Amino acid sequence: MTVSVSWGAISLAATVCFNTSQFSDGYTVAVQSAVYQDSKNVSKGKSTWLNVTFEVDIRNHIQISPKYELLFVVRPFFPGCKNKCLTVQKKWENRPLVVDQSKQPRALLIFVTLALSIFAGCISYYQWKSSHKAPSTASPPDPTPDAVEVAKRKTVLLIYSPDHPLYTVAVLKLCSFLMAQCGTDVVLDLLDLTRLGQLGGLRWLDWHRERIERSPSDKILILCSPGVQAKWRAMCGAKPVVLREDLCSPVGDMLSPALGLIVPGLVRSGSLRRYIVAYFADVCSEEDIPAPFNVAVRYKLMEQFEEVLLRILEVEKQQPGRVYRVQGVGQHEYSLCPSGEALRGAVEAFRAHQQKNPHWFQDELVQEEAEGDVGLDAGRTLEIRTLDTQA
């Protein structure tokens, strides 16, 4: 498999070329990044060599990081293995940006001037504060908000169910907001496809769970939705649940094995501090939270996102004589930054879809076939949706 990429002003064109197999007539070709996902179905026909081109909008990714990475996946469909055939993957990343040397002296002068101004302002502030110290007999001041200082970036393993393409976009936007605005490292299956492909789904989940359990401060964030509740009930003996997005995803159903791994640790009181249970209040409800998670505090996003972030940072909001706050993440201010605005837009787009389609979740379920296999008939075309990351 080869990949060629050509750059435009706001997008890039990526062409995937690969040899076809004698015994496979259909292929799914997918491209993924931290904030983008797309896939296409192609038929071999009589060709021995296929080309598939994707148009990738790069504007939203540049807001997160100047380093741009894409993962290309080719999945063949053979009669024997159907949707579980081995895939071929190839990773591509752009070169580091070249710095204009002619602008360095001016930029350095501006930086030094700003640094000296800030330093002089700090000295003046501490001199003023020293000259206005309150007497030692004064009464304690009223609690005032203090900014939270983070000494080390925290890591969060995010567990979710891909209920709908628009909901998956909202999950990706939440990850972008946590990384760009909150200084948090996020572990998500769609953002770690290379290692996931090497280890396999269950080993990948167990490896990250053990890392977090060995860490004194890292967390597991469980994002509840109708799919989480339905799959938990299926694990308890109800009718099996398969979502269209599980079949379209290159990683398959990751939620069911994740629930089997984390629920035993969640019910142990000594491990409860590692787990955070939350849901998007605009598109989900408390009814989507499985019963074992009732032992933990449930948070509404984005109304209580500040409390979630303080849990991640392990900072008590109310402390004697002070109240800790995190600027820029409140319910009415998180959308003022680019990543927060994208998150709000993604949630609102999914809410609008729910209002137009009251039975959206039932429409996303794949019915069980005869002989107990869940999948697609040989004569059907796999339905692939494009995740609208600009929502």
Average pLDDT over residues 168-189: 94
Torsion angles phi and psi, residue 333, rounded to 5: -130, -10
Give whichever of 83-87, 102-106, 139-143, 158-162 has the largest mean pLDDT. 158-162
Q: What is the pLDDT of residue 32?
A: 81
pLDDT category at 368 given cuts 50, 70, 90 is low
Q: What is the pLDDT of residue 362?
A: 94
Tell me: pLDDT of 364 over 90. Answer: yes
Residue-range domains of the chain with CATH: 2-93 (2.60.40.2150), 154-368 (3.40.50.11530)
CA 198 to chain centre: 20
Residue 310: how many CA atoms within 13 Å on its side-chain side? 20
pTM: 0.58
Eight-state DSSP code of residue 11: E
Mapped onto helix, strand or coil, the DSSP state of residue 264 is helix
pLDDT tens digits, one per residue of 234-266: 999 989 999 999 988 888 899 999 999 888 877
Distance separating alpha carbons of residues 283 and 58, to the nearest angstrom: 27
First to last CA, the chain: 32
Q: What is the pLDDT of residue 135?
A: 41
Tell me: pLDDT of 60 over 90. Answer: no
Tell me: pLDDT of 286 over 90. Answer: yes
